[in-house]
Amino acid sequence: MRIVLTGGGTGGHIYPAVAVGRQLTQEDPATKLLYIGTKKGLESRIVPEQDIPFEAIDITGFRRKLSFENVRTVLRFLQGVRRSKKLLREFKPDAVVGTGGYVCGPVVYAAAKLGIPTLVHEQNAIPGLTNRFLARYADVVAVSFKESERHFERAKRTVYAGNPCATHVLRASRSKGFASLGLPDNSTVVLMVGGSRGARAFNEAMIEMAPLLGRLKDVQFVFVTGEIYYERTTEQIKKVSAGPIPYLHLVPYLNNMPEVLAASTLVVSRSGASSLAEMTALGMPSILIPSPNVTNNHQEANARSLMEAGAAEMVLERELSGPLLLERIDTILKDKARLQKMRTAAKRLGMPDSASILAGELKRMKRK
């Protein structure tokens, strides 16, 4: 098969597309992939690292307020459609997969106009603007949350497929995760991560927590700051701490996130859809702090879905502080029965075969 993948801006849109491509090439090594994104998005770095051919188009998202910039965005969209049609005609894909973010708008739209089968994947409980727009043109709309189907009543066909990021995290080695942190197997690890780019509120809580971590005995903390926050967070933690903290592992980014995730006991995280898919696939208890700076507040809806199932606790960012968060962590870790119930609830929500479900859909809709 020949498949075009598109989606970008954040890791939450990029990694599901990459996961689908990886699944297809594992099932059939002769599969050819092309990823279409933007030069400014994270996809321009992440996708080439995955050895997937990458092409860029120039496109920006709409502003929520009336603005002349939106007129320019419409013009860029039309130019993006023309550029996408050129790339699609050259590559001749059997199908196109869009995973959200404004970049996939012109690509999926162009594919639909050229008669190429299209699949749109929505990761969040509340769909984004681009996927809502594309739903009327796509042959299949796949959703990660069952409750999302009601937002796509006008779609030709919807499929509850979960998030493809869940599939590959199950292959991660716990032992390698412990080894990468320099810890013995079965250590109690609390992983705290504020998304692929990091988050200021997370880092401020990390700084407040650092001198208090000794209150929790035999617990190892992994703080993932995000590259842009790493130096400042490191400096601030040194200022507030009496000396080195041997049970604190401070890193800007984790290249082996699935392995460290598999080695963790509890995760403190944003509630982006891809992260939640990985955590539920592993049956990972979590404390979720949804970002308030996302379209339609969809991260809170994501987090609430897990909280109501008993798989997670939720702390709103406006309530977040280091002492409060440490108290929540301590309470959960001390209650072994509750920790196990959270594991079971998370596992029940997981869909580890998501990537293979989507691969099967693409094979069925392959252009003849």
Q: Is 167 marked as binding a ligand? A: no
Kindly report the backbone phi and psi dihedral angles of residue 64, in degrees, each rounded to the nearest multiple of 5, phi listed first. -75, -30
Q: Is 37 marked as binding a ligand? A: no
Residue 261 contacts residue 172 (beta carbons within 8 Å): yes
Helix (H) or strand (E) holding 282: helix 273-282
Burial of 241 (0-12, 13-18, 19+ CB in 10 A): middle
Quick one: the chain helix, strand, coil %, rounded to 5? Answer: 50, 15, 35
Q: Kindly report the CA angle at 341 between 340 and 345, in degrees rounded to 5?
A: 120
Amino acid at site 50: Q
Q: Is 331 marked as binding a ligand? A: no
Kindly report the backbone phi and psi dihedral angles of residue 44, in degrees, each rounded to the nearest multiple of 5, phi listed first. -65, -20
Q: Is 299 marked as binding a ligand? A: yes
Count of alpha carbons within 13 angstroms of residue 23, beta-carbon side: 26
How many Cβ atoms are within 10 Å of 304's Cβ, its own excluded? 16
Kindly report the backbone phi and psi dihedral angles of residue 312, in degrees, each rounded to the nearest multiple of 5, phi listed first. -155, 160
Q: Is 236 marked as binding a ligand? A: no
Q: Is 10 marked as binding a ligand? A: yes
Sign of dihedral through CA atoms 30, 80, 195, 12? negative
Q: How far is it, in rounded angstroms, from Cα 304 to Cα 278?
A: 17
Give how far Cα 8 sits from Cα of 4, 18, 56, 96, 165, Å. 13, 11, 11, 14, 15
- Tokens 């995000």 belong to 226
User: Annotated binding site: which residue ranges?
Assistant: 10-12, 124, 196, 299
Q: Which residues are annotated as a binding site for UDP-N-acetyl-alpha-D-glucosamine?
A: 10-12, 124, 196, 299
